[in-house]
Structure 1
């Protein structure tokens, strides 16, 4: 059975950031928010944008658009 997180762009972004040496952890007492390198709380969209800006993910594929 496939893991539903395999198709989750936020999960992919988190894994890409971790592979690049960044620390990504869920924010304490804030479901759905994360902290990168112990910084401020970020949404999944913020995490995705960060990974795209760093060149770790291709934004066109991640947002579902082909071009």
Structure 2
């Protein structure tokens, strides 16, 4: 979302269930989001264009929290 006028900038498509957790950070100056949800995955996104960077699997339940640190 563009925070100045509320218009959507891109759609992150990939989760197969409800998204329950989001964290945003930067890596090498690139805005990144990490999302988790009912599909038991964490997904990492490049927010400049919505490109999925990787999917982390292995959880055995809903991902309910995500945190990023530098």
Q: TM-score, normalised by structure 1?
A: 0.29
Write 1 or 2 for the structure with the bigger share of strand.
2
Q: TM-score, normalised by structure 2?
A: 0.28
